[in-house]
Chain A
Amino acid sequence: MATNPMHQFEVYRIGPEIKLGAIDISFTNASLFMVISSLAILLIFNLGSKKNSLLPNKVQLLAELSYSFVSKMISDTAGSKAKPYFAFIFSLFMFVLFCNMFGMIPYAFTVTSHIIVTFILASFIFIGVTIIGFMKHGLGYLKLFVPSGVPAVLLPLIVVIEIISYLSRPVSLSVRLFANMMAGHTMMKVFGGFVISLGIVGGWLPLSFSVALTGLEILVAFLQAYVFAILTCIYLNDALNLHH
Chain B
Amino acid sequence: MEAFAAESGGMPQLNPEFWVSQIFWLIITFGILYVVLSKLILPKISANLETRKSQILENIEAAEKKREESEQKIEEYEKVVHDSKNEAKNYFKQAREKVLKDIGVKKEALDKEIDEEVNKAEIEIKTFRDNAPEKIKKIAEETSSDLLQQLIGAEVNSSSISAIVEDLSRKKMDEYYGN
Chain A contacts to B: CB under 8 angstroms? 1, 4, 6-7, 9-11, 13, 20, 23-28, 30-31, 34-35, 37-38, 41-42, 45-46, 48-49, 52, 54, 60, 63-64, 67-68, 86-88, 90-91, 94-95, 111, 113-117, 120-121, 178, 182
> Do the beta carbons of B26 and A52 come within 8 Å of each other?
no
Interface string of B8-31 (1 = CB under 8 A from A): 111111111111111111110110
**Residues of B close to A46: CB separation below 8 A:** 40-41
B45 at interface by CB-CB < 8 Å: yes
A94–B41 Cα gap in the complex (Å)?
13
Confirm or deny: B77 has a beta carbon within 8 angstroms of a beta carbon on chain A. no
Instruction: Answer whether A34 and B29 are a contact pair too, CB < 8 Å, given A63-B45, A64-B45.
Output: yes
Residues in chain B near residue A64, CB distance under 8 A: 45, 48-49
Which of A38, A64, A94, A111 has its CB near the most chain B CB atoms (within 10 A)? A38
Q: Enumerate chain A residues within 8 angstroms of B32, measured Cβ to Cβ.
A: 38
With beta carbons under 8 angstroms apart, the residue of B8, B30, B37, B47 that contacts A4 is B8
B22: chain A residues within 8 A (beta carbon): 11, 28, 30-31, 114, 116-117, 120
**In the complex, what residue of chain B is closest to A47 when comparing beta carbons?**
B41
Report whether A116 and B19 are in contact in the complex, using a CB–CB cutoff of 8 Å: yes
Residue of A nearest to B47 (CB): A52
Min CB gap A80→B, angstroms: 15
CA distance A1 to B5 in the complex (A): 12
Q: Which residues of A contact B49 (CB under 8 A)?
A: 64, 67-68
- Choose from B16, B19, B25, B37 the contact partner of A41 (Cβ within 8 Å): B37
Judge whether B42 is part of the interface by a CB distance below 8 angstroms. yes
Query: Apart from A11-B21, A34-B29, what 6 extra A-B contacts exist at CB < 8 Å?
Result: A6-B8, A24-B17, A31-B21, A42-B37, A67-B42, A87-B37
**Majority SS of interface residues in chain B?**
helix
Interface class of chain A by DSSP? helix
The count of chain B contact residues (Cβ–Cβ below 8 Å) is: 41
Among B5, B19, B51, residue most surrounded by chain A Cβ atoms (within 10 Å): B19
* CA distance in complex: A194, B42 (Å): 45
Q: Complex formed: what's the CA distance from A73 to B45 in Å?
A: 17
Contact status B52-A52, CB under 8 Å: yes
CA distance A111 to B26 in the complex (A): 9
Q: How far is the CA of A23 from the CA of B44 in the complex (A)?
A: 39
20 examples of A-B residue contacts, CB within 8 angstroms: A9-B12, A10-B12, A31-B21, A34-B29, A42-B36, A45-B37, A45-B41, A45-B45, A49-B44, A52-B47, A52-B51, A67-B46, A87-B38, A88-B38, A95-B30, A116-B23, A120-B23, A120-B26, A120-B27, A182-B11
CA distance A104 to B97 in the complex (A): 95
Could you mark each residue 47-59 of chain B with 1 if its beta carbon is under 8 Å from any beta carbon of chain A, else 0? 1110110010000
Taking CB atoms, residues of chain B closer than 8 Å to A9 are 11-13
C-alpha gap A146/B114 in the complex (Å): 123
Q: Which of B32, B40, B44 has the most CB of A within 10 A?
A: B44
Q: In this assembly, does B154 line the interface, its C-beta being within 8 Å of a C-beta of chain A? A: no
Q: Is the CB of B128 closer than 8 A to any CB of chain A?
A: no
